[in-house]
Amino acid sequence: MIFPLIPFVVVATLALSTVASPIFEYAVKHSWATTPLGWEHHGTPAPDHPIDLRIGLRQDKIDDLIDALYRVSDPFHSDYGQHLSKSEVESLVAPHPTTLSIVHEWLESHGIDLSSVSYSPAQDWLSFRIPIATAEEMLSAKYHTFRHTESDELVVRTLSYSLPKQLLAHIDVIQPTTMFDRMNKMRTNYILDTSGSSATTIDPGLTVKGPAGQDIPLSCNTTVTPYCLQLLYGTAGYVPQAADKGNKIGIAGYLEQFVNFEDLQLFFSQFRPDAERANVTVVSVDGGLNNQSVPGVEANLDCQYTEGLTYPTPNIYYTTPGTAPTINDSVTPPQRDEPYLDWLNYILSQEDIPQTYTTSYGGDEQTFPMDWAVRVCGMFAQLGARGGSVMFSSGDGGVGAGTCQTNDGTNRTLFQPVFPATCPFVTGVGATYQIAPEKGVYFSQGGFSVYFPRPAYQNMAVPPFLQKVGTTYTGLFNPAGRAVPDVSALGLGFQVVVGGAVESVGGTSASSPTFAGIVSLLNDQRIASGKPPLGFLNPMLYSIGVSGFTDILLGNNPGCNTSGFNATEGWDAVTGLGTPNFQVLKSILG
């Protein structure tokens, strides 16, 4: 079975605007009809204010890269598992020489010294610092400072930017321009548990039967620990063997979320005693910090549960700045590039990378400019082609967070899926709760992308669900879109040590590291036996992997003044394919 290429949608709105150069005729690349919801005009930056411009050049052989990704990710293909090297990926995403030539000519026409330009290893990203006035001239744009009405965060952005028509076929995206998304932590519950109690031994009088007939402490219905997850998903008793053979798991951290080492040791002492004195490796990306005086609930949750499930597998926490540093003045904040780009560019520039990743952050898909989302999605494809399995929380808004209204000026009601979970090259993870039986939890965000079409690997699983939905929500979602989530795991009642105390935390931010931990153990088994890591998971999950999941039949995800979708037999937009059975998956993939 060969999964065909998913076509990328190219955004190029050719509405003519004022000619900004005697050499080039300009056309609008991206614009917002109105100021994005939640933001308001705050001021105008000084013309000499510096801005770090980043240009994503059209990648000459991106279609070949995606085709290769599907070949190495299809368990029925002879190339399955033959992942590409860093240099092979870079050769496919490098721009055509003509692209570099015409873009260089454009930069020089605006007085930019090419010696000041920095390049990504594949030369598909250019970056340089220029005054705001120069950026406005180059992009036929007007920059302003905008304030977020809830957080007071200030950003310098434009509501519209243009490119020379001759460059539209050579440039995918330029930032910072029209990106107003505020990355969210995928966490819904934040409940202090003063008792700190947990069930770490089986009491025959207080157990329930798991999906495989295993005895699980009744307390795991509401109080989740690594022991509960090991029993429920079948990893209990499995001892990782490939820690010295290169198997690693990576956790992406943003928004000044810092993992606390003392909290990690307290967590181990209470919930995973054999892991005491183990630690997580912290890697700084673009100057990211890890302030030990400010323990982060999200960072602690992610690291305590990935390590709680995968010890002694090396865990790497990547701390990437996700918010602007100190404000310089009342109207002009310093700039940060979008942190997804910073993290992806860093990871893709490394020779030795983890095989498994989890990220507990995201935002409503419509808040990302489409050209930006498509380009970033393609970077996840690069990571998958190199053998990386990438998990993202599917979101905590049911079928839609916020106002559930479109931001295109029409204010239509629309279910809002979360990006990057909607990218077809990552695995979106929804949430369940309780264990006898597991149910889809109300906040488990699921639905259908507007930006990305349904990938071929979902063509068997998704249509039966759509038939069950029928016309109930006609017009509220895109039935032809990429469907999320792909899979699920428990996401409520996780016991997390924060600042020395145990707190009960929930959200798909708990589900994603849990599922990633299980994937890392599957990679461990394969690497230990001399096989390649799993890489991009979805083609395998939706084919030979289906039998390795417990189908979740109960629960729904209300939102947008509706009861949302229902969990049902087969794939559904609450829990995806269901929750993992490690023993079955290990047998299938061994």
Q: What DSSP string runs through 161-201?
A: EEEEGGGTTTEEEEESSS-----EE---EEEE-SS-----S
Which residue's entry shows tokens 């979101």? Answer: 395
Which residue type is seen at 158?
T
Q: Is the distance from CB of 551 to CB of 581 less than 8 angstroms? A: no
Say how many C-beta atoms besides its own lie within 10 A of residue 475's C-beta.
Answer: 9
Which residue's entry shows tokens 């990306």? Answer: 285
Question: What is the Rg, in whole angstroms, of the alpha carbon atoms belonging to the chain?
Answer: 23
First to last CA, the chain: 20
Structure tokens at 547: 């039998």
- Is 552 marked within a binding site? yes
Query: Which distant-in-sequence residues (6+ apart) come within 8 Å of 249 by Cβ?
Result: 306, 310, 313, 314, 315, 316, 354, 355, 356, 357, 358, 516, 517, 520
267 closest CA partner among 296, 295, 230, 304: 304
For 356, the 3-state DSSP assignment is strand
Could you give the CA distance from residue 202 to residue 62 in angstroms, rounded to a whole number? Answer: 52
Which residue's entry shows tokens 């809002």? Answer: 416
Could you give the CA distance from residue 466 to residue 422 in angstroms, rounded to a whole number? Answer: 17
Q: Is the distance from CB of 26 to CB of 19 less than 8 angstroms? A: yes
What is the torsional sign of CA 14, 19, 25, 29?
Answer: negative
Q: Are strands 361-364 and 418-419 parallel, antiparallel or unpaired?
A: antiparallel
587 closest CA partner among 502, 504, 526, 509: 526
Q: DSSP state, 379?
A: H
Residue 262 belongs to what H/E stretch? helix 261-271
Which residue type is seen at 379?
M
- Is 572 marked within a binding site? yes
Q: Is the distance from CB of 192 to CB of 504 less than 8 angstroms? A: yes
Q: What DSSP string runs through 30-74?
A: EE-SSPPTTEEEEE---TT-EEEEEEEEPPTTHHHHHHHHHHHH-
Could you give the CA distance from residue 86 to residue 546 in angstroms, rounded to a whole number? Answer: 31
Which residue's entry shows tokens 């050719």? Answer: 14
Which 3-state string (H, E, C) describes 97-121? HHHHHHHHHHHHHCCCCHHHCEECC
- Is 551 marked within a binding site? yes
Which residue type is seen at 11?
V
- Is 364 marked within a binding site? no
Catalytic residue positions? 298, 302, 509
Q: Is the distance from CB of 106 to CB of 20 less than 8 angstroms? A: no
Show binding-site residues.
551-552, 570, 572
**Known binding-site positions for Ca(2+):** 551-552, 570, 572
